[in-house]
Amino acid sequence: MTEPAIRLSGIQVWLEDGSTILRDISWEVRPGEHWALLGPNGAGKTTLLNVATARRYPSRGLVEVLGRSFGSSSMLELREQIAIVDPHQRMYDWFTTLEIVLTGTRGTIQPDPDGYSPSELKRAHQLMQQMGLGTMTEREIGTCSQGERQRVRIARALMQSPRVVVLDEPALGLDLPAREALIDALVDLAREHPDLAMIMISHHLEELPPTITHAALLRDGRMVASGPVESTLTGAMMSATYGIPIEVSNDRGRWLARGRSSWDGGTGRS
């Protein structure tokens, strides 16, 4: 069996004022698995990911990332193998999309004045092609749509060949065509990088690509459910997570959630 890329055991996080953010969380993410991390605002998703991606120590519990334990390994070195795609990441409008992607090679926000090697340029072009950006290498990022910018960010994050990629609400603010283009790109990403572990934070099931294999549901700092999507993305589990009656459906790998309310008689049908 493949060793987990991330293994959390009995994780707790509390603050100096005594408030608890995470309560007894155990979670494993293996290479090639694509996870959706879901839960209401304040559930602890960001704190959980900060622990899982070597950006925060837990107050209690054991953490192993890429086979190395917290406390006996360099967290900085671990972070270099984990890419976090932030939709709010700053990008200067006058740089081209190719230049932005290349900055991922050094982890900078501006292109390297010394330039890049032929292999780095080749990889940047390949990643842009995978993200559906192959014809846009000379476009200034300031002229790109929000959806195109998000795909540029993902290509940039992949430049250092990370073993884990975290997508923090990648479809935030996207219209329908841009969202679908992003989902298509994520499907291609899964096909081209089968061993890559991915974690995607989202508030909407319809934003999840059909390549999502697992889901983790958080509420009030506790794990409501964790496992394959068939057993976790159910009406009962989603209702327990969000505290309202929810119906969940799946059509050819695409998910949809809707609340049952008084306007439709509680049936979930209009």
pLDDT of residue 270: 36
77 and 167 share a domain? yes
User: How far apart, in whole angstroms, are the C-alpha atoms of residue 195 and residue 188?
Assistant: 13
Low-confidence ranges of the chain (pLDDT < 50): 262, 266, 268-270
Does the residue 132 lie in any domain?
yes
136 and 212 share a domain? no
Does the residue 254 lie in any domain?
no
CA 16 from chain center: how many Å?
29
pLDDT of residue 73: 63
pLDDT of residue 262: 45
Beta strands (DSSP E) in 30-115 are 34-38, 60-65, 68-69, 82-85
99 and 59 share a domain? no
Does the residue 251 lie in any domain?
no
Query: What domain range includes position 13?
Result: 1-81+163-244
Does the residue 252 lie in any domain?
no
Report the phi/psi class of residue 255: left, alpha or beta, with left for phi > 0 and alpha for psi in -120 to 50.
beta
The DSSP output letter for 104 is: G
Last residue of a domain, one of 161, 187, 208: 161
Task: Give the alpha-carbon dihedral of 197, 201, 205, 209, to 10 degrees.
Answer: -30
Does the residue 74 lie in any domain?
yes
Domain count, the chain: 2
Cβ contacts of 262 within 8 Å, gap of 6 or more? none
144 and 194 share a domain? no
98 and 73 share a domain? no
Does the residue 268 lie in any domain?
no
Strand order in the sheet with 20-29: 20-29, 6-14, 60-65, 68-69
43 and 172 share a domain? yes
pLDDT of residue 23: 92
146 and 188 share a domain? no
What is the pTM for the complete model shown? 0.87
CATH code at 204?
3.40.50.300
pLDDT of residue 69: 77
139 and 185 share a domain? no
pLDDT of residue 241: 94
168 and 237 share a domain? yes
